[in-house]
Amino acid sequence: MSDAHSNSKFLVGIYDDDDVVLQAVKDVRKAGVKIHEVYSPFPIHGLDVALGHPRTKLGIAAFLFGLTGTLTAILLTFYTEGYDWPMIVGGKDSYSPIIYVPIFFELTVLFSALGMVGTFLLSNGLGPTVKPLMYDLRTTDNKFAMTIDMSKNDIGEGDIEGILKRSGAAEVNVKQF
C-alpha cells in the first residue's frame, strides 16, 4: 500500500456523518493539523479538494491510451488490407479509412478503458494480493475515519485529540502500524 508507514503512530478520529467529516477536515486543517487521509464507505464530493489533494491526471491517461488504440486500429487495418493483402470489396478502395471507423472507434474505447482502469489500479496500489491498511473496519460500512500521522505533526497528541473531538469526532483511537 502506498500509505503504509512502518512504526508510525496514528490518531484516528471516527465520525458518524459525511457532512460532519467534510467540515471537520476544513476545521482540523485550519487548526494547523496535517491530515494523513480520510476513509469513507462512499465518495464524499469535495473531500479531495478540502484535503488539498491535487486533481487526478487519469483523464490524460485515458486520452493517451485512447490515442494508442486509434493508432493501433489504423496500423492494423492499413497493414492487413492496405499493404499485406489488398482486397477490393464492393468497389471500395483496398484501403478506405471511412469504412474502418467502427474498428477505430472500438479499439479507441477498448484501449482507453482498459488503460485508464489499469493506471487507476496501479496508482492506488490495488491488486488481488494487496492487504489493505484498515484504520477502522467500520469505514467500509457506516463510519468515516480521519487519520493523523503523529510523526508528521508537531502538535501534541492530547491537543490533536481535542481538535478532532471539537470537530465532531464521535471517538478518537490510537493505531500503531
Partner 1 sequence: MSHVTSAVRTPLVTGGKTYADVTEDISRQVEGKPTREWTIAFTIAVVVLIYGAACVFWTWWEGLGVWGLNKTVGWAWDITNFVWWVGIGHAGTLISAILLLFRQKWRTAVNRAAEAMTIFAVICAASFILMHMGRPWLAYWALPLPNTLGSLWVNFKSPLVWDVFAISTYFTVSLVFWYMGLLPDLATIRDRARSKVSRYIYGAFSLGWNGSAKTWARYEYISLILAGLSTPLVLSVHTIVSMDFATSVIPGWHTTIFPPYFVAGAIFSGFAMVQNLVLIIRVVFKLEDYITVEHIESMNKVITLTGSIVGVAYLTEFFIAWYSGVEFESYAFINRATGPYWWAYAAMMTCNVISPQLFWSRAIRRSVVWTFTLSVIVNIGMWFERFVIIVTSLHRDYLPSSWAMFHPTLFDISDYIFSFGLFFTLFLLFSKFLPVVNMAEVKTVIKSSSEKLPASVSGVAKGERVTNPTFNKNID
Segment lying near partner 1 (by CB under 8 A), choices 5-13, 91-99, 156-164: 91-99
For residues 10 and 39, which CB has a smaller minimum distance to partner 1 in the complex? 39
| Binding of partner 1 by 37 (CB under 8 A) | yes
Q: Under rule CB under 8 A, which residues in 50-79 are in contact with partner 1? A: 51, 53, 56, 58-59, 62, 76-77
Q: Which of 7, 129, 154, 176 binds partner 1 (CB under 8 A)?
A: 129
| Binding of partner 1 by 43 (CB under 8 A) | yes
Q: Which of 31, 44, 150, 155 binds partner 1 (CB under 8 A)?
A: 44
Q: How far is the CB of 7 from partner 1 (least distance, A)?
A: 20
| Binding of partner 1 by 128 (CB under 8 A) | yes
Secondary structure of the chain as H, E, C letters: CCCCCCCCEEEEEEECCHHHHHHHHHHHHHCCCCCCEEECCCCCCCHHHHHCCCCCCHHHHHHHHHHHHHHHHHHHHHHHHHHHCCCCCCCCCCCCHHHHHHHHHHHHHHHHHHHHHHHHHHHCCCCCCCCCCCCCHHHHCCCEEEEEEHHHCCCCHHHHHHHHHHCCCCEEEEEEC
Q: Which of 7, 42, 154, 176 binds partner 1 (CB under 8 A)?
A: 42
Q: Which of 8, 9, 29, 47 binds partner 1 (CB under 8 A)?
A: 47
CA torsion through residues 127, 129, 132, 138, sign: positive
How far apart are the C-alpha atoms of 118 and 107, rounded to whole Å?
A: 16
| Binding of partner 1 by 97 (CB under 8 A) | no
| Binding of partner 1 by 1 (CB under 8 A) | yes
Q: Under rule CB under 8 A, which residues in 143-172 are in contact with partner 1? A: 168
